[in-house]
Amino acid sequence: MRLFKREPLHARLAREAGLPLDERPPHDTGPRWGEVGIHGVARPREWDAVVAAEAPELGVGELEFVVLPDGTVVVDDAPALEPGALDPLAAAVETTLERPYRARAVWRGGSRWGVAARRIEVAELPRGVSGEEIVLSHAGAERSLTVDGDPSLGTIPALERLGAARAGSSYVVRAERLADALWEIEVTPL
């Protein structure tokens, strides 16, 4: 057991020279990744436009809708609305984004709405195409088609041509019915 604590040499020399002894640890010069700085890959942006709009005819809640190239508004799962009730929301979006687009509107109190929208691609498929959602994948010689989640042995030449024109021989085409023969299309190369 030690009775006397021995003073470290650096402390004794600093004291004898009349210098203040700074007992703080040395400055850390390493990168501080956990603080402000790089936090990884940024998320891809979900919306192409976000706007505020006044729509006194709508009431409260949330709405999702699609505006087609000709200006027709298709409402997803919403109560019956008066014709033209969504026009103020569409007009606000179209100040920054061209048709066609998919939008989500959220009531913010009073007659104020926040609307976020993203561009979509719309294609017309033959009227005989059944289902509401179609996924066509093509990788080399392998091809699969699902209609509303069920495998199908048929073919949809219009989707195959679209996928091949955009992505070559390996692609996935997703299609969601908007109205009658109009479908929202997304082509992803493999």
Cα–Cα distance for residue pair 120/156, rounded to 1 Å: 20
Peptide bond into 8 cis (omega under 30): no
What region, left, alpha or beta, does residue 15 occupy, with left being phi > 0 and alpha being psi -120 to 50 degrees?
Answer: alpha
pLDDT tens for each residue of 51-92: 999 988 787 788 899 999 999 998 876 667 777 888 999 999
CA torsion sign for 82, 83, 84, 89 is positive
Residue 132 has pLDDT above 90, yes or no: yes
Averaged pLDDT for residues 42-50: 86
* Amino acid in position 166: R
Contact 141, 173 (CB under 8 A): no
pLDDT at 30: 65
Cα–Cα distance for residue pair 113/119, rounded to 1 Å: 20
How many Cβ atoms sit within 10 Å of the Cβ of residue 75? 14
pTM: 0.72
Tell me how far CA of residue 77 lies from CA of 34, 63, 74, 142, 178, in angstroms: 43, 8, 10, 36, 12
The residue extents of the domains of the chain are 49-119, 122-189
Cα–Cα distance for residue pair 106/60, rounded to 1 Å: 8
